[in-house]
């Protein structure tokens, strides 16, 4: 308790001040949930969540003269927000909700006892509170013991808790990754039993919880729990589908475990990065959602493309293209934004391109196309491709790493020479129209694309040579004689 209070020291004067404000007006006030849990864990919490016996109008009346500003976007749920200096507080009236378990919509009811509010919370380690201003510790459901055991339990029975809000099952998976805890056996059993109830939760809420899980420092345990309990079958069925039956001769690796390992390796590569011979290169700052989604989903096209060859072995031809289509469909259903979907699917499409590089046989033209096709995703593609190597053969892994070092070196050299980040044909649209004597339209667009391809294949050639190439191309077009 002393350590927890010590960890709260930076905000303790403010908490005690607002506590005195509420108790002086005849109300109870307590710090609750995540901030209390994190104080015992020695973690810094970005939230200051408080709960009170005061109704929303009274909360607002008390806060307005005290805080720098207040807002009431959560008034219907009893929450009033406030800013005091740099601190942001959210204060919510005690809740004693009842749930319509056919639609998952809570019938918002305000309560008058802290204990009633705590029993409706998701997990016991989040059902601890500190009364303000005297810092009395309230723990009716032994949350501190569960925290010490690193075990996730529920204040009510797990079946009741998850029936009230099925998203809590996904939150359990997230906490296994975020807090390094394990779910209690009865909690895991209830997750299996009630997994189908996740269909009642909106796609947006499921997406947001998945994003929080993926952005933790170690998402693998949470993802594994989603698969093991059947929750992933509901919200991300492509992940458990990667558990392909391994043939008795083990002619292909475990794609599911491989994908989780690729995700871990991609996370390890986020942040500052050094390439031999180049030094520090452009980093992908973490946590990066696009990279992590692409790493997790890069092989989801394999189940649909697996073929056992007559000569032995297994093939997955064009799985990157099939996987990109599957990822696009799934991410749309989860209501991800268009930019994220476009970036993730492009990375999946391109993740095998490097393997055509071999021992460096690519021409400069091929390297240019690699750069151009990846566009602003190039740095992420570097990390995805590197993380896709999970072989235990050290010699093979070292060779792949050195080959990619070579490719990155060539890319940097070409970029410095030709400024490929903004590659354009030597002639713009007006110049093309003037050379060919044509008006703007589809033919001009085709001419522009031809000059761009010529530029990618041959590098900078100058305006004179570009005009000569344009005339050669035009002479072969059906429109030239009209």
Q: What is the pLDDT of residues 342-393, one digit of tens each?
A: 999 999 999 999 888 877 778 888 898 899 899 999 999 999 999 998 888 8
Structure tokens at 36: 């209390």
Closest C-alpha among 65, 68, 100, 73 to residue 84: 68
Task: Find the length of the chain.
Answer: 482
The SS3 call for residue 71 is strand
Nearest-10 crossing angle of helices 429-436, 462-475: 50
The pair phi, psi for residue 370, each rounded to 5°, is -60, -45
Distance CA 183, CA 249 (A): 36
**For the purposes of burial, counting CB atoms within 10 Å of the CB of 88, is it exposed (0-12), middle (13-18) or buried (19 or more)?**
middle
Q: Is the pLDDT of residue 251 over 60?
A: no
Lowest mean pLDDT among 119-133, 251-265, 430-444, 463-477: 251-265
| Buried-state track 275-314, b at ≥16 Cβ within 10 A, e below 16 | beeeeeeeebebbbbbbbbbbbbbbbbbbebbeeeeeeee
Rg of the chain on CA atoms, in Å: 29
Determine contact, residues 322/305, Cβ cutoff 8 Å.
yes
Closest C-alpha among 408, 372, 177 to residue 292: 177
Distance CA 65, CA 279 (A): 56
pLDDT confidence of 156, banded at 50, 70, 90? very high
Which pairs count as long-range contacts for 387-395, CB under 8 Å and 24+ apart, including other chains? 387/262, 387/263, 387/265, 387/266, 387/268, 387/269, 387/295, 388/262, 388/298, 388/351, 389/265, 390/253, 390/258, 390/261, 390/262, 390/265
**Tell me: the pLDDT tens digits for 79-102?**
999 999 899 999 999 987 666 666
Which strand (E) or helix (H) includes residue 84? strand 79-84
Nearest-10 crossing angle of helices 442-458, 364-374: 130
- pLDDT for position 106: 60
Q: Is the pLDDT of residue 249 over 50?
A: no
**Tell me: the pLDDT tens digits for 448-457?**
999 988 888 8
- pLDDT for position 91: 96
Determine contact, residues 452/458, Cβ cutoff 8 Å.
no
Closest C-alpha among 355, 232, 351 to residue 294: 351
């Amino acid at each position: 308790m002393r350590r927890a209070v010590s960890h709260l020291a930076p905000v303790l004067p403010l908490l005690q001040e607002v506590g005195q404000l509420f108790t002086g007006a005849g109300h109870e006030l307590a710090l609750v949930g995540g901030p209390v849990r994190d104080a015992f864990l020695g973690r810094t919490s970005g939230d200051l969540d408080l709960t009170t016996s005061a109704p929303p109008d009274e909360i607002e009346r008390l806060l307005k003269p005290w805080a720098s500003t207040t807002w009431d976007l959560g008034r219907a749920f009893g929450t009033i927000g406030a800013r005091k200096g740099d601190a942001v507080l959210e204060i919510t009236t005690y809740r004693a909700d009842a749930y319509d378990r056919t639609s998952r919509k809570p019938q918002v009811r305000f309560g008058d006892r802290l204990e009633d509010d705590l029993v409706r919370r998701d997990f016991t380690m989040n059902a601890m509170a500190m009364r303000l201003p005297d810092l009395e510790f309230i723990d009716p459901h032994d949350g501190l013991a569960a925290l010490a055991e690193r075990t996730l339990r529920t204040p009510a029975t797990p079946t009741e808790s998850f029936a009230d809000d099925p998203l809590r099952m996904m939150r359990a998976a997230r906490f296994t990754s975020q807090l390094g805890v394990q779910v209690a056996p009865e909690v895991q059993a209830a997750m299996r039993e009630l997994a189908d109830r996740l269909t009642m939760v909106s796609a947006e809420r499921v997406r947001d919880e998945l994003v929080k899980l993926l952005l933790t420092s170690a998402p693998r345990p949470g993802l594994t729990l989603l698969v093991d309990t059947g929750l992933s079958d509901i919200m991300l069925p492509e992940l458990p589908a990667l558990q392909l039956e391994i043939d008795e001769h083990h002619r292909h690796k475990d794609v599911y475990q491989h994908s989780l390992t690729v995700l871990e390796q991609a996370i390890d590569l986020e942040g500052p990065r050094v390439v031999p011979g180049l030094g520090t290169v452009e980093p992908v700052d973490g946590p990066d959602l696009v990279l992590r989604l692409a790493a997790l989903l890069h092989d989801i096209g394999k189940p649909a493309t697996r073929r056992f060859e007559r000569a032995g072995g297994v093939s997955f031809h064009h799985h990157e293209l099939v996987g990109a289509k599957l990822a696009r469909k799934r991410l749309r259903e989860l209501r991800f934004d268009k930019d994220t979907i476009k970036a993730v699917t492009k990375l999946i499409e391109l993740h095998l391109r490097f393997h055509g590089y071999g021992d460096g046989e690519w021409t400069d033209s091929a390297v240019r196309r690699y750069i151009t096709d990846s566009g602003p995703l190039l740095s992420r593609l570097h990390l995805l491709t590197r993380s896709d190597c999970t072989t235990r053969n050290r010699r093979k892994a070292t060779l792949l790493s050195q080959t990619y070092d070579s490719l990155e070196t060539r890319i940097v050299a070409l970029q410095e020479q030709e400024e490929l980040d903004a590659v354009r044909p030597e002639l713009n649209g007006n110049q093309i129209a003037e050379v060919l004597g044509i008006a703007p339209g589809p033919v001009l667009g085709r001419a522009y694309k031809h000059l761009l391809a010529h530029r990618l294949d041959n590098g900078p050639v100058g305006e004179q040579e570009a005009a000569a190439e344009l005339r050669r191309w035009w002479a072969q077009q059906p429109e030239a004689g009209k």
